[in-house]
Amino acid sequence: MEITNFITESFIRNINPAHNVYNFTDPVKAFGEVTTIDPDVILLDLNMPELDGWGFLDRMQESQMAYNVYILSSSTSELDKKRSSTYGNVVGFLVKPLEEDVLSNILETNAR
Amino acid sequence: MEENQIYRVTYEAFSKFSNSLSRCRSFEEVANVLRVNLKFLFNYHCVRISFQWEEHFAHFTISMQDAQVEVLGEGNYMPHEKQLLSQKRPLCWNNQQVAMLPLAYQVPTEEQTELWGWVFENQERCLLVSLLAGQSKPFTKRDVTFVRLMAESLESKLLELFLFQELDKRNEEISYINAQQQEVIKQRTSEITKKNERLLEISIASAHQMREPLSRVLGLVQIMGQAQSMETIQEQVLPRLSKSATDLDTVLREVIDNATGELIELGAD
């Protein structure tokens, strides 16, 4: 988890060091801070302790948060892909390893 | 009629009997041929014919109007037939002993009946012919020739019918065995298909499990290529790369252990 986040963060810094990256390994803590941070985009891992990616999406739905979410998964499962599309704010399903130009594109299109 | 002429007519009758008999495909057809043709070969009130081959028995009772056949798995001999079987030679009974015949074959006493009997034995086969004659249906020694001829033709025909019957039975058994084997093959195929599906599931699940640490290794290798300094690589990337490689190794070991366990459980030997 920590390593995955390190990789993603390194990629983002490499694309543009000016981006503010908030890196969480604790999804509960992340959910607590999400409104304060008010992010342009959330990269969400499905496989997390305590609160998994689906639980995180459910909580966002309950709190009517509309932040754009990209799912980051190491699974190529079509089932997960289908399920993620049922959430209105999920705009993409990315399979690890993340490619830098894909990430660059995402950052560009979601920048406010 | 002259004696020669009588013989000629009887031989013609015998040849007709023989032809009809050769066309028979069942014991009932044989009984019918006997009912129709036998009376032209010699005189009788009734005739009893019993044939035995191994565990197969056929008993014919023929009167002037009627012919019946029983096909059995054990002998159903009349008392006088048992006597023939034990003495194994032609016999002739007078009135008193004729009383052992079933009621249906009794004839008036003024007929002064005689019961003749012959045994024809041949390897595993035995044919008994017995014939009830009387004053109105006289039987003489001269007629024995036709009894013998009739017995020979009949014996080979009845053996043929029993052999065909046996063949049908064997064929049925073979069909049954074939059907059973088909069923076993079907079952085995379905078992193998299920095992294959299960192994495929395992391999897919394994691939997913392995992708996670592998994707980290790939990501870190990429970061290493972009790193600003050796210090960054040494302090930040290498420890994580090492950890990810170890994780990948752990997952691989688990996958191998699981797959081996599943293989043993599935009995894929």
CATH number at residue A43: 3.40.50.2300
- Give A89→chain B minimum CA distance, Å: 25
CATH value at residue B22: 3.30.450.40
pLDDT, position B106: 73
> Taking 90 as the threshold, does the pLDDT of residue B262 lie above it?
no
Q: What is the pLDDT of residues B106-160, one digit of tens each?
A: 777 778 888 999 999 988 899 999 999 988 899 988 899 999 999 999 999 999 9
pLDDT, position B99: 55
Phi and psi torsions of A52, nearest 5°:
-80, 175
Say which residues have a Cβ less than 8 Å from residue B63's Cβ, sequence separation at least 6. Answer: B45, B46, B104, B105
pLDDT category, A52, cuts 50, 70, 90? confident
- Residues B30 and B143 reside in one and the same domain: yes
pLDDT, position B1: 59
From A31, A8, A21, A25, select the one nearest A99 (Cα to Cα).
A8
Q: In what order do the strands lie in the sheet with A90-95?
A: A42-45, A69-73, A90-95
Q: Do A6 and B236 touch (CB under 8 A)?
A: yes
- Residues B129 and B223 reside in one and the same domain: no
In a domain, B54, yes or no: yes
CA dihedral sign, ordered B26, B31, B33, B34: positive
In a domain, B159, yes or no: yes
A:B CB pairs within 8 Å: 43
In a domain, B256, yes or no: yes
Q: Do A74 and B223 touch (CB under 8 A)?
A: no
Is B128 at the interface with chain A, CB within 8 A? no
* Maximum pairwise Cα distance, chain B: 139
Q: How many domains does chain A have?
A: 1
In a domain, B75, yes or no: yes
Q: Do A77 and B208 touch (CB under 8 A)?
A: yes
From B110, B153, B148, B156, select the one nearest B131 (Cα to Cα).
B148
> Taking 90 as the threshold, does the pLDDT of residue B269 lie above it?
no
A31-45, A86-100, B13-27: least confident range: A86-100
In a domain, A112, yes or no: no
Cβ-nearest to B215 among A6, A10, A96 = A96
Q: Describe the crossing of helices A27-37 and A53-62 by its angle, rounded to 10 degrees.
A: 40
In a domain, B238, yes or no: yes
CB A26 within 8 A of CB B191: no
- Residues B148 and B195 reside in one and the same domain: no
pLDDT, position B104: 67
> Taking 80 as the threshold, does the pLDDT of residue A1 lie above it?
no
Cβ-nearest to B219 among A7, A47, A76 = A7
- Residues B134 and B201 reside in one and the same domain: no
Q: Do B223 and A14 touch (CB under 8 A)?
A: yes
From B133, B146, B145, select the one nearest B92 (Cα to Cα).
B133
In a domain, B183, yes or no: no
- Residues B70 and B111 reside in one and the same domain: yes
What's the Cα-to-Cα distance from A30 to each of A26, A38, A48, B24, rounded to whole Å?
6, 11, 12, 97
Q: Do B219 and A77 touch (CB under 8 A)?
A: no
pLDDT, position B98: 59
pLDDT category, B5, cuts 50, 70, 90? confident
Q: What is the pLDDT of residues B13-67, one digit of tens each?
A: 999 999 999 999 999 999 999 999 999 999 999 999 999 999 999 999 998 888 9
pLDDT, position B87: 93
From B147, B154, B251, B136, select the one nearest B205 (Cα to Cα).
B251
pLDDT, position B111: 81
In a domain, B174, yes or no: no
Measured between CA atoms, the residue of chain B closest to residue A97 is B215
Measured CA to CA, the distance from residue A13 to residue A39 in angstroms comes to 16
- Give B266→chain A minimum CA distance, Å: 26
State the residue range of the domain holding A67: 2-104
Per the DSSP assignment, residues forming a β-bridge with B46 are B63, B132
In a domain, A65, yes or no: yes
Is B219 at the interface with chain A, CB within 8 A? yes
Cβ-nearest to B220 among A7, A76, A77 = A7
Q: How many domains does chain B have?
A: 2
In a domain, A9, yes or no: yes
- Residues B121 and B228 reside in one and the same domain: no
In a domain, A109, yes or no: no
Is B216 at the interface with chain A, CB within 8 A? yes
Measured between CA atoms, the residue of chain A closest to residue B208 is A75
- Residues B140 and B215 reside in one and the same domain: no
Measured between CA atoms, the residue of chain A closest to residue B211 is A74
Q: Do B226 and A14 touch (CB under 8 A)?
A: yes
What integer is the mean pLDDT of B224-233?
86
- Residues B107 and B161 reside in one and the same domain: yes
- Residues B153 and B201 reside in one and the same domain: no
In a domain, B39, yes or no: yes
Per the DSSP assignment, residues forming a β-bridge with B130 are B48, B117
Measured between CA atoms, the residue of chain B closest to residue A73 is B212
Residue that finishes a domain, picked among B107, B131, B165: B165
pLDDT, position B93: 87
Measured CA to CA, the distance from residue A98 to residue A91 in angstroms comes to 16
State the residue range of the domain holding B39: 3-165
Q: What is the pLDDT of residues B75-121, one digit of tens each?
A: 999 988 999 999 999 999 876 565 566 766 777 777 888 899 999 99
Measured CA to CA, the distance from residue B66 to residue B68 in angstroms comes to 7
